[in-house]
Structure 1
Amino acid sequence: MKPNRPVNFLLFITDQHRADHLGAYGNRVVATPHLDKLAAGGWRAGNMHVATPICMPNRASLMTGRYPSTHGARHNGIALSLRSRTFVDMLRLAGWRTGVVGKLHLQNMTDIPPSWPVRAEDRLALEAVTPDTSGRYDQENRRAWLERDDYDLSYPYYGFQQADLVDDHSDQPHGHYRYWLRRNHPEVESLIGFEAAIATPEYELTRIRQAWRTRVPEELYPTAYIADRTIEKLQEYGRGDSPFFLQCSFPDPHHPFTPPGRYWDMYRPEEMELPESFHAGHSPAPHVAWLREQRDSGKAVRNTPAIFACNERETREALALNYGSISNIDHHIGRVLEALEQSGQAENTLVIFTSDHGDYLGDHQLMLKGPIHYRGLTRVPFIWRDGARTTGGSASDALVSTIDIAPSILARAGVQPYNGMQGHDLAAVMSGQAAGVRDALMIEEEGQRVILGFDRRIRCRTLLAENHRLTIYDGAGWGELYDLRHDPHELQNLWDEPQSAQVRARLLEALSREMLSNIDTSPYPTALA
């Protein structure tokens, strides 16, 4: 440890990883010894929820400390404005070296032209914070990366001075990973993907291309590459005089499920227990009933990234393969943390672990993700271990959000937050000096498609407060209301129950006030009319 050096940051992010799929969160099946040890030496949030359960907008919320309705990347396909202020930019300007290894997904990865972000910051000259990089909103385009060997990001990229990009999922990401694979192991590229996979006719998920047994070796799989490059960055940054912020972002355990090598059959589908809600005798909400009807009538589309109703076998397979991916990630996080210890920087490095959203994985007979805000989807792990400040093994059930990560990091770094941040510094909660930073937590969702029996694209808002979850949908005369203390699996919808009328009215008022308080006020006009 170098004397008087500001704190370093190492942020781990997984993709589509629900909170209860870690040993530290009570899971008795999945093996995550390294993350469990990290939690035992730090602070764990038991009630961390996403700003929105969609990848691009929630990652943008993590970067900005702002809700999707204010930073503008409201759903996948809308890029985060290149003029947006991010906490990584603020660290960079304050002298931190900033780098990322792995998935970013702050811009569209497909050939579909992006929906242009039109925010207040786009109309202002903020070059002093984030230089204008010629308006490039194609920097994560999959086809461009795969068809060329010299494609790259324009740096700094949302604050990152360096990047080893590993975008997309399963065994087939693009970015710097594929460049490295072509240069060093050209024979392996032909082993990537569903068509090259090892046959597994016993798996139903392989028939719908939601899983395949990859031929890519464990040591060359994207998860291993990301850990290897992160270790190299730690060694490089540790030799310098500047503090660093390093983000290590794994595309797994997101579907399609392709855990490599021994991790494919580390867990047996036959031994997986179905979720408590799978066979619960209750009448589901209309959108869940619609999905089940599609399945039961043979109309369900199950080979896309969209939510679908699943059967028992698919659920057990998904759980087993998801656990395999998580154990693979845990193994490599252990390697990175060991390298951090060996570098002599552990005492001066704050380590964070979280995810961008969860996955139903059989909850209520649902698979993947969608605009139905069950806790398996919105609740994510969050572990904070500060090498210089002891919080060993502590935890809290305070309501915290993805938008709280940016202000908490800036506060710990001693860097002034910027105007427009909507999250809170969690320091007082983590130290035990405060019970919480809010009484109610809002979750947003802006859909892209007309699905689930709705007559318009789905727009919904959720409020978590008073140990309840309330959700309203644009254009729908019904809603959802669950008493999470007495009904933790969200089985009994109390929306129309007379005895719940008062709490429903109270929470609807609280949601309206929460939505009002989070309308963007940054920046105010410079002069009044």
Structure 2
Amino acid sequence: MRNRVNFLLIITDQQRADHLGCYGNKQVQTPNLDRLASRGWRCGNMHVATPICMPNRASMLTGRYPSAHGARHNGIPLSLRSMTFVETLRQAGYRTALVGKAHLQNMTDIPPSWPVKSEDRLALEARLPEAGNYDQEKRRIWLQRDDYDLEYPYYGFEQARLVDDHSDDVHGHYRYWLRNEHPGIEALIGPQAALPAPSYELTKIRQAWRTRVPEELYPTAYIGEQTIRRLQEYAQSDEPFFIQCSFPDPHHPFTPPGKYWDMYAPEDIDLLASFHATGNAPPHVQWLWNQRDAGTAIRHTPAIFACNEREAREAIALNYGSISNIDHQVGRILGALQDHGLADNTVVVFTSDHGDYLGDHQLLLKGPIHYRGLTRVPFIWADPSSGQGSASDAALASTIDIAPTILERAGVAPFNGIQGSSLLPLATGRKTALRDALMLEEEGQRVILGFDTRIRCRTLLMDNHRLTVYDGAAWGELYDLEADPHETRNLWEDPASRRVRARMFERLSYAMLQNIDVSPYPTALA
């Protein structure tokens, strides 16, 4: 048996923390993940560095905020020169593999602006494109060919089985496998081939469809099977390994296959408490409600929109179906770990790249409104060297903490520029907190929500409060999360909360200063 510990990092796409049984959800069925949490450490206050796919995935790999690693929002690829913890493990002798979604480069044909336009308020620097191939995850290339592949090592991964995009309509190695092993199934992909589901409102706006792809051939099953194959392969070696198993679900459009489509009935779904709270909503939320009520809301794109009660119930029910499908594959993977004699020496980590409103405040999908349903994600650390399961519900943790945590557990020195902190002191009970406050960043792509420019905002979590400020806006958000856990009473203009607001503004300024990039270090002077 190898002596160095192995790692299996399981990531879902757009999953709220409270959509697991082990986080208190009484409706969704996640027995395998719940058992994993029962023997591991569960973090109850894990938040994203930014609630956007590409930049937060880049933060996960680098341990750095988007303002430091440069992939500030979707459409800006992570620099191929970036150091990742996966590359650091690889250089330390680990075998590294990716199965599933990467999303570290653009999947569309729309490139970032090079050089940055002078009038673009998001311009942090004017620079020329970096050398390297930044077309490696482009959907069109993968679908038009049968022999395309990533250039390895890809951000540290020495092999991959790529499954990019969402729903049943993904691209990457999965489509090659489907064409070669199951000809004819590819024609069943997408809304145009879907089974009728006339009772579902979301199918009318293409936010959901009832896929004809069978459960056993759906991307989730492929990712589970390919992860098991990597485990079989690595079990024959004495070298330690790191596998990232990354599911594109439960991200919208919602297409849970087979029995998972109607495993949960929308009529039986409990709505979140904030759905019916219509108090002093901040201007951008009110703007979304107004768009819906006027019948002018755009609801067929990936952008946030205000929903009605039926749409919220459908989205949650289908989301639960996708999560239960993932949980089934997680059970298979954990069983394979045991069968191949790897369970006693493999740390299993489970998390997600960000959440989804799913009815919070009558909203669906994601956007630059930092309600906790969007920013708080599950995090389970199951280390075979630990004893019984435990949890930390108060300690503030972040996506940027994952890289230093894995490197410390591997006994590998961290690289310069990591801005996160290892979570091992929390997981082992040596500490009850790592920080007194946590910052979240967001650099938006779209001009939406009543703003006249692309949205830039910063959030601070501290002392059971949440403060969010927007570039160019005279208003902001302030919530007392202890007295108002559903974030329904904005205290921004509350005279009694002025001291809290001022204190948090001050702490936010220090947090932004602390997280300015310090890599590389300056030249030492004699």
Considering the TM-score relative to the shorter chain, is it more than 0.5? yes
Shift of 1:8: 0.1
Shift of 1:528: 6.6
Shift of 1:521: 1.1
Which amino acid letter does the alignment assign opposite residue 379 of structure 1?
Answer: R
**Residue 348 of structure 2 corresponds to residue 351 of structure 1:** yes
Aligned to 2:505: 508
Q: 1:155 aligns with which of 149, 152, 155?
A: 152
Shift of 1:282: 0.9
Shift of 1:281: 3.9
**Is the CA contact 1:391–1:430 (under 8 Å) kept in the aligned structure 2?**
no
Can you give the 5+ residue segments of structure 1 that lack an aligned partner in the other structure? 124-132
**Residue 145 of structure 2 corresponds to residue 142 of structure 1:** no
Aligned counterparts of 2:219 and 2:267: Cα–Cα separation in 1: 28
Aligned counterparts of 1:181 and 1:116: Cα–Cα separation in 2: 37
Q: 1:85 aligns with which of 77, 83, 86?
A: 83
Shift of 1:427: 1.1
SS at match of 1:98: strand
**Residue 78 of structure 2 corresponds to residue 49 of structure 1:** no
Shift of 1:97: 0.1
Aligned to 1:64: 62
Aligned to 2:317: 320
Distance 1:452 1:281, change over 3 A: closer
**Residue 390 of structure 2 corresponds to residue 400 of structure 1:** no
**Residue 479 of structure 2 corresponds to residue 482 of structure 1:** yes
Aligned to 2:386: 389
Shift of 1:525: 3.2
Shift of 1:115: 4.7
Aligned counterparts of 1:232 and 1:48: Cα–Cα separation in 2: 31
**Residue 466 of structure 2 corresponds to residue 465 of structure 1:** no
Aligned to 1:244: 241
Aligned counterparts of 1:173 and 1:221: Cα–Cα separation in 2: 10
Q: Deviations over 1:238-258 (max 9, x none)?
A: 111100000100000000000
Aligned to 1:128: none
**Is the CA contact 1:78–1:116 (under 8 Å) kept in the aligned structure 2?**
no
**Residue 101 of structure 2 corresponds to residue 107 of structure 1:** no
Aligned counterparts of 1:243 and 1:458: Cα–Cα separation in 2: 43
Distance 1:325 1:117, change over 3 A: farther
**Is the CA contact 1:80–1:117 (under 8 Å) kept in the aligned structure 2?**
no
Aligned counterparts of 1:56 and 1:417: Cα–Cα separation in 2: 22
- Percent identity, please: 72
**Is the CA contact 2:65–2:400 (under 8 Å) kept in the aligned structure 1?**
yes
Q: 1:197 aligns with which of 194, 198, 201?
A: 194
Q: Deviations over 1:211-260 (max 9, x none)?
A: 00000000000000000000000010111110000010000000000000
**Is the CA contact 2:208–2:252 (under 8 Å) kept in the aligned structure 1?**
yes
**Is the CA contact 2:45–2:392 (under 8 Å) kept in the aligned structure 1?**
no
Distance 1:426 1:244, change over 3 A: same
SS at match of 2:211: coil
Aligned to 2:377: 380
Which amino acid letter does the alignment assign opposite residue 310 of structure 1?
Answer: C
Q: Deviations over 1:447-483 (max 9, x none)?
A: 0111100111100000000100000000000000000
**Is the CA contact 1:396–1:429 (under 8 Å) kept in the aligned structure 2?**
no
Q: Deviations over 1:115-157 (max 9, x none)?
A: 569999x99xxxxxxxxx9600000000000001111100000
SS at match of 2:193: coil
SS at match of 1:195: helix
Which amino acid letter does the alignment assign opposite residue 484 of structure 1?
Answer: L
**Is the CA contact 1:19–1:381 (under 8 Å) kept in the aligned structure 2?**
yes
Can you give the 5+ residue segments of structure 2 that lack an aligned partner in the other structure? 117-122
Aligned counterparts of 1:164 and 1:138: Cα–Cα separation in 2: 17
Distance 1:101 1:405, change over 3 A: same
Q: Deviations over 1:386-435 (max 9, x none)?
A: 01222524434200000000000000000000111000011111111111
CA-atom RMSD, angstroms?
Answer: 1.7
Shift of 1:306: 0.1
Q: Deviations over 1:334-385 (max 9, x none)?
A: 0000000001010100000000000000000000000000000000000000
Shift of 1:527: 6.0
SS at match of 1:480: strand
**Is the CA contact 2:55–2:72 (under 8 Å) kept in the aligned structure 1?**
yes
Aligned to 1:235: 232
Which amino acid letter does the alignment assign opposite residue 69 of structure 2?
Answer: H
Higher mean displacement: 479-488 or 106-115? 106-115
**Is the CA contact 2:73–2:443 (under 8 Å) kept in the aligned structure 1?**
yes
Aligned counterparts of 1:364 and 1:326: Cα–Cα separation in 2: 22
Q: 2:277 aligns with which of 258, 262, 280?
A: 280
Shift of 1:325: 0.2
Aligned counterparts of 2:48 and 2:34: Cα–Cα separation in 1: 21
| TM-score for the superposition, normalised by structure 2 | 0.96
Q: How many residues align?
A: 517
Distance 1:197 1:244, change over 3 A: same
Which amino acid letter does the alignment assign opposite residue 272 of structure 2?
Answer: P
**Is the CA contact 1:166–1:173 (under 8 Å) kept in the aligned structure 2?**
yes
Aligned to 2:365: 368
Aligned counterparts of 1:369 and 1:164: Cα–Cα separation in 2: 27
- Where does 1:144-183 land on structure 2 (aligned, <5 Å)? 144-183=141-180
